[in-house]
């Protein structure tokens, strides 16, 4: 590599830190390992993606980043902390902490683009290959990219039994994004060893048994899937176990001992609006579509749509008819 770019990996990480990213790592863009490819294909074949049909699309590109973006040589994985400093009061209806503030897709995309802009302004990045067939691309949870796999390959952390990326001494409350680069770096990071050990607190805390030590994640059973992605009637199990949850579920993260190290984010984009924190159950029960649009403008909660959120609120306000065990 040209001596001008001999410290490129270090420069990228330093600039990422200045922009507010908690962690940044790099890996060579290669096909995913055979065991991961086999698990992904088997999970899809068994319907583990439930009604999320998009997760079964472009499997070849998920397993080979060179097919998604031809010419990619390096993948950067970046993590941004969203651990909340304030929570919705426990007696109120609950939404997952990741959706407290602005939609993370937009925040992360802006930050990834700003990182590239700063590196370009500093003339820190090598020129694109002369053949014109390569490009730099950014992704945030909207393309066929195995985000947690690449975060692991880039040395950010490991994928825990709750199927979340866990960063040591920081926890799992992080948004992930990737930058695909058409050139190699001077240094790459090593995957991290799994540190879950014999702990299975997340498995025990999962209200619908969607997690298991020796089984793949069952999307259809997951309470978060039921309350966000499911467009039909909630499952009986979801109704029975949702409690005050009306959007998503953080129970596996709340149970994870690594999250005791989480430092609350100071990013204003991820902080909840005062109105959201003060919402009473009566106000939720009477939520109009106009209020919904105003309260969740630019929010990830819109993923569930107004009808889905009202369905969840109604179910949360209806006492269970009995425990089906």
Helices and strands (H and E) in the chain: how many: 14, 8
174 contact partners, CB below 8 Å, separation of at least 6? 22, 23, 79, 80, 81, 82, 165, 167
Which of these, 119, 125, 141, lies nearest to 74 by C-alpha position? Answer: 125
Taking phi over 0 as left and psi of -120 to 50 as alpha, with beta for the rest, 34 belongs to alpha
Q: What is the CA radius of gyration of the chain?
A: 21
Can you tell me the distance from the alpha carbon of 201 to that of 101, in angstroms, rounded to the nearest whole number? 28
Q: What is residue 134's three-state secondary structure? A: coil
The burial class, CB within 10 Å (0-12 / 13-18 / 19+), for 219 is buried
Residues marked active site are found at: 141
269 contacts 101 by C-beta, under 8 angstroms:
yes
């Amino acid at each position: 590599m040209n001596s001008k770019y001999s410290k490129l990996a270090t420069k990228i990480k330093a600039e990422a830190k200045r922009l507010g990213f908690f962690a940044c790592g790099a890996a060579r863009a290669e096909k995913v390992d055979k065991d991961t490819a086999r698990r992904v294909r088997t999970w899809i074949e068994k319907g583990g993606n439930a009604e999320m049909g998009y997760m079964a699309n472009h499997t070849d590109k998920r397993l080979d980043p060179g097919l998604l973006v031809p010419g990619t040589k390096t993948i950067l994985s970046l993590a941004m902390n969203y651990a909340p400093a304030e929570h919705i009061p426990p007696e109120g209806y609950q939404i997952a902490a990741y959706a407290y503030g602005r939609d993370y897709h937009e925040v992360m995309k802006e930050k990834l683009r700003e990182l590239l802009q700063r590196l370009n302004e500093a003339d820190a990045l090598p020129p694109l290959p002369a053949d014109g067939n390569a490009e730099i691309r950014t992704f945030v949870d909207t393309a066929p990219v195995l985000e947690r796999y690449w975060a692991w390959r880039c040395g950010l952390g490991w994928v825990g039994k709750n199927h979340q990326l866990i960063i040591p001494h920081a926890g799992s409350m992080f948004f992930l994004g990737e930058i695909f680069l058409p050139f190699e770096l001077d240094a790459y990071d090593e995957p991290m060893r799994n540190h879950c050990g014999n702990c299975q607190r997340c498995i025990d805390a999962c209200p619908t048994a969607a997690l298991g030590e020796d089984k793949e994640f069952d999307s259809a059973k997951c309470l978060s899937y039921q309350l966000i992605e499911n467009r039909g009637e909630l499952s009986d199990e979801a109704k029975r176990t949702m409690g005050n949850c009306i959007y998503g579920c953080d129970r596996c993260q709340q149970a994870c001992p690594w999250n005791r190290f989480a430092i609350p984010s100071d990013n204003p984009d991820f902080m909840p609006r005062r109105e959201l924190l003060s919402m009473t159950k009566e106000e939720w029960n009477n939520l109009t579509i106009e209020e919904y649009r105003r309260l969740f403008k630019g929010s990830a909660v819109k993923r569930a749509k107004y009808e889905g959120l009202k369905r969840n609120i109604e179910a949360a306000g209806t006492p269970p008819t009995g425990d089906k065990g």
